[in-house]
Amino acid sequence: MDAAAIAAALREIAQHLTFRGENQFKVRAYENGAQALESLGEDLGKVIAEKRLTQVRGIGSSLAEKIEELHRTGATALLDELRAGMPPGVLEIARLPDLGPKKAKALHDALGVGSVAELEAACVAGKVRALKGFGPRSEDKILAGIKRASAQAAQGGGRILLSSALEVGEPLLAHLRALPAVRAADLAGSLRRWRETVADLDVIVGSDDPGAVMDHFVAYPGVGAVEARGDTKCTLRLQTGLQIDLRVVPPGDYATALHHFTGSKAHHVVIRGRARERGLTISEWGVERLDGSGKLEVGSEAALYQLLELPYIPPELRENQGELEAADAGDRFEDLVQAGDVRGLIHCHTTYSDGKNSVEDMARAADALGAEYLTITDHSPAAAYAGGVGLERLLEQWDEIDRVQPRVKVRILRGTESDILEDGALDYPPEVLERLDVVIASIHSRMKMDAEKMTARLIAAMRHPVFKIWGHPLGRRLLEREPFGCDVEAVLDAAAASRAAIEINGDPHRLDLEPKWIRLARARGLRFVVSTDAHSVQGLGYLRYGVATARRGGVRKSEVLNTRPLDAFLRAVRPAAG
Ligand code: DGT
Ligand code: CA
Ligand code: CA
Ligand code: ZN
């Protein structure tokens, strides 16, 4: 079993244990172990062979034994035993909206239903209404829940792209902030941490009048159903299916509530341990002294961290992926790259290949954004499906750039997104590539070749002196396509040897290279280019997603080539520079 499959097995164990009402620490140990494996960032077999598993954060010795067993044999006695006691279908039933473990178990015990399909049949046959605690309305509700769950599963387990969530969340936030009773409001949860996909929107409001806030909230256009409403919290579902959790707290509790609902849970587990060591306890209600002497006033998240003798940790880093160790080592995170640091818009397409706008449109839009330089990097001939630009057209584009340049402030740079061909060669002859200002080299074809061949292909490409920027490195498309297989560490070593920069692609469908690998690239001293991969003037706005992804990987301003002034940027990336 590989790391991902083992992580899934550990999560399944955690679910069974929850189901059995086992203690939460035990459950969390399995969940943390699963998360540790999912973000391992190196080959699990190697870690096991070198007996380093227990050195991985989140993996203790008993968990390590189970992981080794799963790795070696593909099974573990514990999971077999848990599964025997509870068919996996019943777990699925428990995960349906409005059901949960207790009702699932009751349905299983009374009707023998062991899968969602069997439950659906039982509802249709009218068998559920006869049970104690259920009625005809329950049957309808369960059927509706099954329909919704399967629709969600069809779209990637109900998660949506960060950009889609922000498109909904930002106007919603403006709607809330327009109400005078709202003193402060923010989007929290995975969205505030800039995770690439989110399951729902978590909204925190500070107000002395929660009733008015909730009335205003449920009146938001597009609300499909109010699923739950209490005095201070409310869950609603938009017609699109997206769930929104709202929490209204007194203004004095705003900072601690925002912190709590920003997460992540894994980050909080560590923070709470630190609080206890200092005689404090942190919960969603705020910070209290363990001696019972009462609640502390905490006016900001920075103040909360200060109580724990920690620097302010930005939301993007709150994943327990090394941020607390870094803080202990003296990191204050103040120099993480910010959108305002970026001077050049990199990786932009025009109508020459598959973009929607002209060179001039893109340049004017870059001017409006205050950019110092703009790289035009249309596709190379091998990317025929994306309108790859032949040599003659490329020369025409250079003329067009010369014509447009005097009309705009931004410096327009000649570039290409050159395909990395199957054997590791680059598209366009070297003498053409050498005449460009910027070459981004990307893989667009034959992504399913085996990992060993892919590794060799990339390493061969990086040996070309003109290879300067590795574009959307692992080729993933979020919710659509996994990253392709290769020995990422070996390729990063090759990039370091050839002094190539790594693109952090801001297209919200890509966000590639992803944070776990960015951290390993940083450890090798690699430099980055934070790009937009814009195919239209609107696409230039993707910069913020690229910057957030870089921050999640801990990238500093000094490590990002396009924060440098034009001349320094060109010195770093120009193919002819050798
Ligand atoms: P998502 O919704 O799957 O994209 O990810 P999150 O992180 O937004 O998760 P969500 O919506 O379940 O909860 C939002 C935040 O609330 C989460 O990041 C931390 C906090 N939270 C929720 N449940 C718990 C919990 O059981 N323990 C702790 N410590 N925090 C929790
Ligand atoms: Ca959430
Ligand atoms: Ca939530
Ligand atoms: Zn591309």
333-364 residue pLDDT tens = 999 999 999 999 999 999 999 999 999 999 99
Least confident of 144-158, 276-290, 397-411: 144-158
**pLDDT per position as a tens digit, 516-541:** 999 999 999 999 999 999 999 999 99
In a domain, 144, yes or no: no
Residue nearest to atom 27 of ligand 1 (CA): 265
Predicted confidence at residue 149, as pLDDT, reads 80
Which segments of 39-154 does DSSP mark as H helices, in order?
Answer: 44-49, 61-73, 77-85, 88-94, 100-111, 116-124, 136-154
85 and 177 in a common domain:
no
In a domain, 149, yes or no: no
Most confident of 73-77, 152-156, 433-437: 433-437
Q: Is the pLDDT of residue 568 over 80?
A: yes
Cis peptide before 264 (omega within 30 of 0): yes
In a domain, 578, yes or no: no
For residue 113, what are its two tokens? 């239903």
Nearest CA to 288 out of 301, 300, 272, 302 is that of: 272
Q: Which residues contact 285 (CB under 8 A, 6 or more apart)?
A: 253, 256, 295
371 and 323 in a common domain:
no
Q: How far apart are CA 190 and CA 160, in angstroms?
A: 11
CATH of the domain at 188: 3.30.460.10
Atom of ligand 1 nearest to the CA of 159: 4
- 224 pLDDT band, cuts 50/70/90, is confident
Predicted confidence at residue 155, as pLDDT, reads 57
Q: How far apart are CA 250 and CA 489, in angstroms?
A: 48
Residue nearest to atom 26 of ligand 1 (CA): 265
Determine the distance separating the centroid of ligand 3 and the alpha carbon of 200, expressed in angstroms: 6
Residue ending a domain, choose from 292, 309, 328: 328
In a domain, 387, yes or no: yes
Residue nearest to atom 18 of ligand 1 (CA): 263
Give the percent of the chain with pLDDT over 90.
78
Determine the distance separating the centroid of ligand 3 and the alpha carbon of 211, expressed in angstroms: 20
Determine the distance separating the centroid of ligand 3 and the alpha carbon of 46, expressed in angstroms: 37
Atom of ligand 1 nearest to the CA of 190: 8
366 and 300 in a common domain:
no
Atom of ligand 1 nearest to the CA of 245: 11
- 578 pLDDT band, cuts 50/70/90, is very low
Residue nearest to atom 1 of ligand 1 (CA): 199
Predicted confidence at residue 73, as pLDDT, reads 93
271 and 229 in a common domain:
no
Find the farthest-apart pair of alpha carbons in the chain and give their distance in angstroms, rounded. Answer: 79
In a domain, 151, yes or no: no
Q: How far apart are CA 23 and CA 37, in angstroms?
A: 22
Residue nearest to atom 20 of ligand 1 (CA): 261
Nearest ligand to the CA atom of 162: 1
Residue ending a domain, choose from 328, 352, 369: 328
Nearest CA to 570 out of 388, 448, 437, 459 is that of: 437
Predicted confidence at residue 577, as pLDDT, reads 59
359 and 239 in a common domain:
no
Of 265, 304, 318, best ligand 1 pocket probe by most atoms within 8 Å of the beta carbon = 265
Q: Is the pLDDT of residue 489 over 80?
A: yes
- 27 pLDDT band, cuts 50/70/90, is confident
Atom of ligand 1 nearest to the CA of 193: 7
Predicted confidence at residue 97, as pLDDT, reads 77
Determine the distance separating the centroid of ligand 1 and the alpha carbon of 441, expressed in angstroms: 38
Q: How far apart are CA 97 and CA 149, in angstroms?
A: 8
> Quick one: DSSP state of residue 389?
P
Of 261, 283, 318, 478, best ligand 1 pocket probe by most atoms within 8 Å of the beta carbon = 261
| Structural contact between residues 312 and 521, judged by C-beta atoms closer than 8 angstroms | no
Q: How far apart are CA 338 and CA 336, in angstroms?
A: 6
**Which long-range CB contacts under 8 A does 391-396 form with residues at least 24 apart?**
391/428, 391/432, 393/352, 394/428, 394/432
CATH of the domain at 37: 1.10.150.110
In a domain, 481, yes or no: yes
Q: Which residues contact 10 (CB under 8 A, 6 or more apart)?
A: 30, 31, 33, 34, 37, 63, 66, 67
Q: Which residues contact 309 (CB under 8 A, 6 or more apart)?
A: 278
In a domain, 322, yes or no: yes
CATH of the domain at 350: 3.20.20.140
| Structural contact between residues 246 and 235, judged by C-beta atoms closer than 8 angstroms | yes
Q: Is the pLDDT of residue 176 over 50?
A: yes
Q: Is the pLDDT of residue 154 over 70?
A: no
Nearest ligand to the CA atom of 245: 3
Which segments of 20-60 does DSSP mark as H helices, in order?
Answer: 24-38, 44-49
Q: Alpha-carbon torsion 392, 394, 397, 398, what sign? A: negative
- Do the bridges between strand 528-531 and strand 233-238 make them parallel or antiparallel, or are there none, so unpaired? unpaired
Q: Is 22 left (phi over 0), alpha (psi -120 to 50) or beta?
A: beta
492 and 508 in a common domain:
yes
Of 202, 281, 301, best ligand 1 pocket probe by most atoms within 8 Å of the beta carbon = 202
**Which long-range CB contacts under 8 A does 287-294 form with residues at least 24 apart?**
287/256
The total of structural domains in the chain comes to 4
Atom of ligand 1 nearest to the CA of 195: 4
472 and 436 in a common domain:
yes
Predicted confidence at residue 20, as pLDDT, reads 79
Q: How far apart are CA 481 and CA 264, in angstroms?
A: 25
423 and 384 in a common domain:
yes
Higher per-residue confidence, 11 vs 464: 464
Please report, as a single letter, which amino acid is at residue 445: S
Residue nearest to atom 16 of ligand 1 (CA): 261
pTM: 0.78
Determine the distance separating the centroid of ligand 2 and the alpha carbon of 226, expressed in angstroms: 17
Predicted confidence at residue 64, as pLDDT, reads 95
260 and 237 in a common domain:
no
435 and 554 in a common domain:
yes
Residue nearest to atom 13 of ligand 1 (CA): 189
Predicted confidence at residue 156, as pLDDT, reads 53
496 and 403 in a common domain:
yes
Q: Which residues contact 500 (CB under 8 A, 6 or more apart)?
A: 462, 467, 468, 469, 470, 526
For residue 441, what are its two tokens? 């080299």
Residue ending a domain, choose from 303, 328, 353: 328
Residues around ligand 4, an ion, CB closer than 5 A: 442
User: How many other C-beta atoms are found inside a 10 Å radius of the C-beta of residue 296?
Assistant: 15
Per the structure, the complete domain to which residue 167 belongs is given by 160-249
Nearest ligand to the CA atom of 262: 1
Task: Please list every protein residue whose CB sits less than 6 Å from any atom of ligand 1.
Answer: 189-190, 195, 198-200, 202, 260-261, 263-265, 268
Using DSSP, state whether 481 is helix, strand or coil: strand
Q: Is the pLDDT of residue 416 over 70?
A: yes
- Do the bridges between strand 184-187 and strand 201-206 make them parallel or antiparallel, or are there none, so unpaired? antiparallel
For residue 103, what are its two tokens? 């009702």
179 and 107 in a common domain:
no
In a domain, 351, yes or no: yes
Measured in degrees and rounded to the nearest 5, phi and psi for residue 486 equal: -165, 170
Nearest ligand to the CA atom of 195: 1
Residue nearest to atom 24 of ligand 1 (CA): 265
Atom of ligand 1 nearest to the CA of 269: 29
Atom of ligand 1 nearest to the CA of 200: 2
**pLDDT per position as a tens digit, 422-462:** 999 999 999 999 999 999 999 999 999 999 999 999 999 99
